[in-house]
Amino acid sequence: MSDDWAARRGLSAILITVPELAAYTDRWRSVSRSTARPHVPLTELIPPHVTVLVPWVADPTDADEKRLRAALAKVGPFELSFPTAGQFPNGTAWLRPEPFDTVRSLLLSVFEAFPECPPYGGEFPEPHPHLTISSSTQGGPAVVAEAQAALAENAPPVVQLTEVGLWREGSDGVWRQFGAVPLGA
């Protein structure tokens, strides 16, 4: 992944945030850094999350939120777990959200509603839903093996997903939530 799109500032995003997993994932995320923001650990930039869409519209309007609500209207709340770990070819280590097909369907509904916002700036037109635990520069087989062992010993908590969050990156590179859209509304 090139990170050219991520090097831009002031992006907005639609995220499935799971702060309930921070105690579980911080062991990896606290020592991992984004290639676009190498001076700050992931834990200080953004909470544990599954990206739905980034970059989203630059300045979301009420009409954009209405489009998002319509896209999520048929997706009701569901339990979300993270039972397995893996990695992308670039070394990024991740946890897989389950039910995977439900999460993927949610992403595809949002992509369809916002065709002007290709996921990851068009670099990955069909992204694989995941929760990053270690970036490409700190990830790799050792992190995945450690995560698989941790998952076998003590699984992270299951969370009830009821909404997606609307997030914006500040000028300091830290992401902050500015809204939420409920599922099934």
Q: Report the chain's terminal Cα–Cα distance, integer Å.
A: 35
pTM, two decimals, is 0.91
Least confident range from 9-18, 39-48, 58-67, 94-103: namely 39-48
Total structural domains within the chain: 1
In eight-state DSSP terms, residue 154 is S
Q: Are 80 and 96 in contact (CB under 8 A)?
A: no
Q: Which residue range forms the structural domain that includes residue 45? A: 3-182
Please say if the pLDDT value at position 2 is more than 50: no
Max Cα separation, the chain?
46
Sign, CA dihedral 14-18-19-22, equals negative
Residue corresponding to tokens 């595809």: 108
Q: pLDDT digits over 83-108, tens only?
A: 999 999 888 899 999 999 999 999 99
Residue pLDDT, tens place only, 43-55:
888 999 999 999 9
CATH number of residue 126's parent domain: 3.90.1140.10
Q: What is the pLDDT of residue 4?
A: 57
* Tens of pLDDT, residues 142-171: 999 999 999 999 999 999 999 999 999 998
